[in-house]
Structure 1
Amino acid sequence: MSLSAVQASAYLHHLHLESADPDRLSAFYASVMSMERSRFENGWITQGPARRLIISHGKEKSLASAGFAVRDKEGLEGLKARAQERGLKPESVTEPFFSSGAFCVTDPDGNKIVFGLSSGDNHTEKPIRGPLQHLTLATADIAAIEDFYSNGLGFSVSDKVVREDGKLMTCFMRGNHEHHNLACFLQDRKGIDHHSYEAGEWDTIRDWCDHFARHDVPLMWGPGRHGPGNNLFIFIKDPDENWIEVSAELEVVHDRQVKTWPHEERTLNKWGRAIMRA
């Protein structure tokens, strides 16, 4: 039986980033994002409670892969069956954070997306709350990306941002009850736009801001509140200029129609100015 990503309860589990200087980048995530790091092949693994990154040598600001975990073996097999039915050519892979049986597909922009069962989280210490929560892609073809993830893999579309002339600019998608754990923005490039960590509540965003200040890392945007998802946010940059979001109070979606938002600053930030991608 084939299953959609939502039926399999897919959530963002880990990311694999490439960098021209993996040592520098992994040291940043270890200190600024409160993770531990260990050697892995030609790079590093950095991880903390529910937040995990693989950082290897390659082109700066490149996404090597994104790992989505699903609830159980039935969900994984059902999602793989759907990918096969839709002609997405799933391939078996081995991932350091997943048990055996993981598979990957490649989207129209060449992004490698891996699905698997989490092999567990051995971190018991309790630093600032911040599970890895969503990935936002940059793409020149939003329609193709939306079709691949929603029709191909069964992610559910929550909201869209549309320009006055009807052109689709942004699409927010979810693999579970969260408003989005995957999104895409129209840009003149491919790859990663940003990735986000879930603070849970406003006070924890404050704690992250204090933590960043102690590490002399300034906010590049925020605090603010997004329209789609209604979440509070702050943004910083890592040494490779990757955008990092810390978010709180993201909408929980049970059953509602897709919302359409105008392409304007107040959509991206109800409180004021926004960084417009296009």
Structure 2
Amino acid sequence: MQRPPRFTIPEGAHAGTLHRTHVSHIGFVVPDIAAAEAFYCRVLGMKRHSVLPDGRVRLGWGEGHHVIDLSEGDKTLAHYGFEVRDEGGLDGIRARLTEAGIPFDPLDPADVDEAVGTPDGIAVTDPDGTTVHFHSEVRRHGENSADTGRRPIKFQHTTVGTVDVAPMATFYTDVIGFRISDQLDDGNFAWLRSDRDHHTLAIVRVGRSGDIDHYSYDLSEWEDFKTWCDRLTELDVPVSWGPAGMAPETTSSCSSTTPRATTSNSPPRWRSSTTIASPTCRARGRRHPPLSTSGAARHRPGVESERTTSDDLGRISQGRP
């Protein structure tokens, strides 16, 4: 059988520098803050943390660092953030940004709410022009108090849309210090990690820059999926449900990605995923981008690179060994 050409985004010397950097928060510009706040509180069980002097509303789990920052205007992705717990991690990012000639600014301490010690952070624009926050350790104790049938346990990853995956992946691996976990052979999708999870950031070609494809929350147990599907149905929230593969992530129902060949720095890890339409900003021609709730998937270090074919993905998604 004729195989398509293999596409591999190379990694530089700094790839994999970060091992304890976690997805932290995300900011959206929305036309109706009240409607967006009502959705997240009603559907995901979030609570209002604060209202800032400029009118922005911050939501989270009731305690600890905020998860979502809402500001009013035309729908768009305002920023996304990561908590850097690696020793010397922020100084390393500053040094690599300076070496690469990429300007950055100190992050407003107000964006590092619930800081452990003195708040510290960096604000930089990614190659698509979207602001990214990297900040010091914050308290996240609200994640430990979840009623898992009514609320996720944590914000798990962000997937951004772009016109060209390679420059974004190179920025995150060669400058910031992430590592590629998986990528499609055609170069249109890459999954990057910065902690023990399979990915904290994914990048997909959608034909425009500075967009969001989806963002994801973890549930605690497999049994929670039925509870969540039942609850969301009762709330009249449209849901797509299906198995999601960590090499690459897909859903077998009506969501967007179809299984294709990948190159991988970690083995396929499969999980279930519930995709929920949310009132934030556009993505890939849909009225709203999906947010998804899913079971945790972690990468296993020290595993040789391997290739996953579309046949493999199709077989696993159908429950076959």
1:256 is aligned to 2:303: yes
1:64 is aligned to 2:64: no
CA contact 2:30–2:71 (8 Å) conserved in 1: yes
1:25 is aligned to 2:36: yes
**1:242 — aligned with what?**
289
CA contact 1:88–1:152 (8 Å) conserved in 2: no
CA contact 2:15–2:174 (8 Å) conserved in 1: no
**2:196 — aligned with what?**
177
Deviates further, 31-40 or 89-98: 89-98
How far off is 1:147 after superposition? 0.8
Trace 1:2-21 onto structure 2 (pairs within 5 A): 6-7=17-18, 9-21=20-32
**1:276 — aligned with what?**
none
Provide the secondary structure at the position in 2 that maps to 1:84.
Answer: helix
Letter matched to residue 129 of structure 2? G
CA contact 1:11–1:68 (8 Å) conserved in 2: yes
How far off is 1:56 after superposition? 0.7
Higher strand share: 1
How far off is 1:266 after superposition? 4.1
Provide the secondary structure at the position in 1 that maps to 2:226.
Answer: helix
**2:261 — aligned with what?**
none
**1:197 — aligned with what?**
217
User: Structure 1 residues 187, 24: closer, same or farther in 2, change over 3 A?
Assistant: same
Question: What is the CA deviation profile of residues 8-43 of structure 1, one whole-angstrom value per residue up to 9, with x for unaligned ones?
Answer: 511101111111111111110011011001423323
Provide the secondary structure at the position in 1 that maps to 2:218.
Answer: strand
Q: Distance in 2 between matches of 1:25 and 1:171?
A: 29
Q: Distance in 1 between matches of 2:212 and 2:203?
A: 9
Letter matched to residue 232 of structure 1? S
Trace 1:208-219 onto structure 2 (pairs within 5 A): 208-219=228-239
How far off is 1:260 after superposition? 4.3
**2:46 — aligned with what?**
35
Percent identity between the two aligned chains: 25
Q: Distance in 2 between matches of 1:147 and 1:222?
A: 32
Q: Distance in 2 between matches of 1:71 and 1:132?
A: 16
**1:206 — aligned with what?**
226
User: Structure 1 residues 227, 77: closer, same or farther in 2, change over 3 A?
Assistant: closer
How far off is 1:122 after superposition? 5.6
Deviates further, 69-78 or 255-264: 255-264
How far off is 1:46 after superposition? 1.0
Letter matched to residue 118 of structure 1? E
Provide the secondary structure at the position in 2 that maps to 1:254.
Answer: coil
How far off is 1:108 after superposition? 1.0
User: Structure 1 residues 254, 17: closer, same or farther in 2, change over 3 A?
Assistant: same
List alignment gaps of at least 5 residues for structure 2: 1-12, 248-268, 281-287
CA contact 2:18–2:178 (8 Å) conserved in 1: no
User: Structure 1 residues 257, 133: closer, same or farther in 2, change over 3 A?
Assistant: same
Question: What is the CA deviation profile of residues 247-267 of structure 1, one whole-angstrom value per residue up to 9, with x for unaligned ones?
Answer: 114132312244444579946
**1:44 — aligned with what?**
57
What's the TM-score once normalised by structure 1's chain length?
Answer: 0.85
Provide the secondary structure at the position in 2 that maps to 1:145.
Answer: helix
1:90 is aligned to 2:104: yes
**1:158 — aligned with what?**
181
How far off is 1:230 after superposition? 2.0
List alignment gaps of at least 5 residues for structure 1: 273-278
Deviates further, 245-254 or 140-149: 245-254
CA contact 1:178–1:252 (8 Å) conserved in 2: yes
**1:133 — aligned with what?**
156
How far off is 1:139 after superposition? 0.8
Provide the secondary structure at the position in 2 that maps to 1:168.
Answer: coil
Deviates further, 81-90 or 257-266: 257-266
CA contact 2:106–2:121 (8 Å) conserved in 1: yes
Q: Distance in 1 between matches of 2:95 and 2:204?
A: 28
CA contact 1:12–1:135 (8 Å) conserved in 2: yes
Letter matched to residue 185 of structure 1? V
Q: Distance in 1 between matches of 2:16 and 2:22?
A: 9
